[in-house]
Amino acid sequence: MTNKKSKFPTWLSYLINGLFLIFLLLGGMQAINTGLVSNYYARVIILCGINIILALSLNLATGFLGQLPLGHAGFMALGAYSSAIFMRFVCNVKMMPPALMFPIGIFLGGVFAAFIGFLIGIPALRLKGDYLAIITLGFGEIIRVVLLNIDDVLGFKFTYGAASLKNIPKTTNFFNTFLLVAVTYYVIHTYIKSRHGRATLAIRDNEIAAESCGINTTFYKTLGFTMSAFFAGIAGALYAGYIGVLNPSAFGFMKSIEILVTVVLGGMGSMAGSIISATVLTSVPEMLRAFSQYRMIVYSLLLVIVMIFKPTGLMGNYEFSLSKILSKKGGRKNG
């Protein structure tokens, strides 16, 4: 992680990035509202956004914390179901319009996933490497099975298990997805580029040395892991509002692997890589609907090949900075 200074003062960097985002947001909304971008493509874009948030959240755990959680889909599921159940309740009670209550639903999804993530972190983060991978896999599967069968224990219909949770209000749109992608990126970015981020990366680099520098490794691992779960939950909530129907089978080990593939291909530790990777891996299969049966084969082949030839992922550790690019261009002009 290098800190090459761009030629612009910090406030100007923030301004450039902010304006760029607003431009994208307004432009995108306009394009969709005027029908420039068809409804079909709008939905693909929204799905890209959801997968970007998922990738960024897992990247926090794999790339920055240096761990390999294999149960990430579990957190997505928790966020999806808690938000969905809340939103269905809102619809049934008919007091407020669902669109207005959706932010609460999203937040609920994130918080619940974060809470469970925190609990899981207590035993899981004491383990390292392979063992951490295995235990998170176990937890992910347990979450899936619980969501599948909990109605039997409760005695009433809660998650509807294998029968699917239906009639979830489809309140996810370009605006709230874009906003949440931006928020996710911003929070993770500012966290990493602070002393807490340095501590997190130090733990990844050499945990024993980090401890000897006075860093409370348990605290930072737990915080990172919980944040990762929080954003996965948010993505899950958005997903519920996007697709309208939920089934536990969508959140199994396979889904965790799909998210992992996205992060690995983009480069563990590169947020830009995660964004590009998630966008490509979401949109390309959609465009190539006809070849969907080959999609997973290409996925897995790609994964193996990239691992063999570039173990750090396509983008490696490279971090993207608009102002860096602009200042480079400016430099060349003057130089």
Partner 1 sequence: MADPKLVPVPSRGMVPERDVLERPVLETLHLGVDFGGLVAVDEFNMVIGKTEIAGLIGPNGAGKTTVFNLLTKVYQPTRGTILLGDKDTSGMNTSQVCKAGMARTFQNIRLFSEMTVLENVLVGHHNSIAYHTPSAIFRLPSFWKGEKKAREYSLELLSIFNMEDTAEAKAGSLPYGAQRRLEIVRALATNPSILLLDEPAAGMNPTETAELMENIVKIRDTFGIAILLIEHDMKLVMGICEGIAVLNYGKIIAKGTPDEIKNNPLVIEAYLGKKEEEGEEVNA
Partner 2 sequence: MSVFTTVVSQLINGLQTGSVYALIALGYSMVYGIILLLNFAHGDIIMVGAYTAWLFMVNFSQHPIIAVIAAVIACTALGVLIEKVAYTPLRQAPRLSLLITAIGISFLLENLAQLIFGAGAKSMPKIANVPSVSVGSVTISGTAVVTLIVSIISMVLLNVLIKKSKMGKAMRAVSEDTGAAQLMGININKTISFTFAVGSALAGIGSVLYSAAYPQASPTMGSMLGLKAFVAAVLGGIGSVPGAVIGGFCIGIAEAAASALGLSIWKDAVVFLILIIVLIVKPTGLLGRNLQEKV
Q: Is 261 in the site for partner 1 (CB under 8 A)?
A: no
Which partner in partner 2, partner 1, none is near 308 (CB below 5 to 8 A by kind)?
partner 2
Residue 52 binds partner 1, judged by CB under 8 A: no
Helices 39-59 and 217-243, packing angle to 10 deg: 170
Residue 228 and residue 61 in contact, taking contact as beta carbons nearer than 8 Å: yes
Is residue 214 within the footprint of partner 1 (CB under 8 A)? yes
Of partner 2, partner 1, none, which one sits near residue 297, judging by CB under 5 to 8 A according to partner kind? partner 2
At a CB cut-off of 8 Å and minimum separation 6, what does 157 contact?
A: 151
- The answer to whether the beta carbons of residues 317 and 270 sit under 8 Å apart is yes
167 near partner 1, rule: CB under 8 A: no
d(CA 223, CA 1): 21
Please choose, out of 10-18, 83-91, 221-229, 258-266, the segment that lies near partner 2 by the rule CB under 8 A. Answer: 258-266
What beta strand segments (E) does the chain contain?
Answer: none
Quick one: which of 25, 29, 37, 133 contacts partner 2 (CB under 8 A)? 133
Partner whose binding site includes residue 191, from partner 2, partner 1, none (CB under 5 to 8 Å by kind) = partner 1
Contact track, partner 1, 174-203, x by CB under 8 A: -------------x--xx--xxxxxx-xx-
Side-chain half-sphere of 61: how many Cα atoms within 13 Å?
Answer: 33
Range in contact with partner 2 (rule: CB under 8 A) among 41-49, 50-58, 132-140, 281-289: 132-140
Would you count residue 289 as binding partner 1 (CB under 8 A)? Answer: no
- Out of 151, 211, 258, 286, the only residue in the binding site for partner 1 (CB under 8 A) is 211
**DSSP-assigned states of every residue in 161-217:** GGG-B--------HHHHHHHHHHHHHHHHHHHTSHHHHHHHHHHH-HHHHHHTT--H
Nearer to partner 2, 25 or 134 (CB): 134
301 scored as a contact of partner 2 (CB under 8 A): yes
- Inter-residue long-range contacts of 295-304, CB under 8 Å, 24+ positions, other chains counted: 299/258, 299/261, 300/261, 302/261, 302/265, 303/261, 303/264, 303/265
The dihedrals phi and psi of 132, each to the nearest 5 degrees, come to -65, -40
Q: Which residues contact 132 (CB under 8 A, 6 or more apart)?
A: 67, 68, 69, 124, 125
Taking the C-alpha atoms of residue 117 and residue 224, their distance in angstroms, rounded to an integer, is 10
Q: How far is the CB of 303 from partner 2 (least distance, A)?
A: 4
Among 3, 39, 155, 208, binds partner 2 (CB under 8 A): 208
| Token reading at 220 | 């930072």
Number of C-beta neighbours around residue 156 at 10 A: 5
Q: Does 240 bind partner 1 (CB under 8 A)?
A: no
Contact between 206 and partner 2 (CB under 8 A)?
no
Residues numbered 57 to 96 that lie near partner 2 (CB under 8 A) are 62, 68
Q: Which one among 210, 259, 271, 278 touches partner 1, defined by CB under 8 A?
A: 210
**Nearest-5° Cα angle at 8, 193 to 64:** 15
Residues between 142 and 181 that touch partner 2 (CB under 8 A): 142, 145-146, 148-149, 152
Size of site (CB under 8 A) for partner 1: 29
CB of 257 to partner 2, least distance (A): 6
Contact footprint for partner 1 (CB under 8 A) = 1-4, 187, 190-191, 194-199, 201-202, 205-206, 208-217, 223, 317
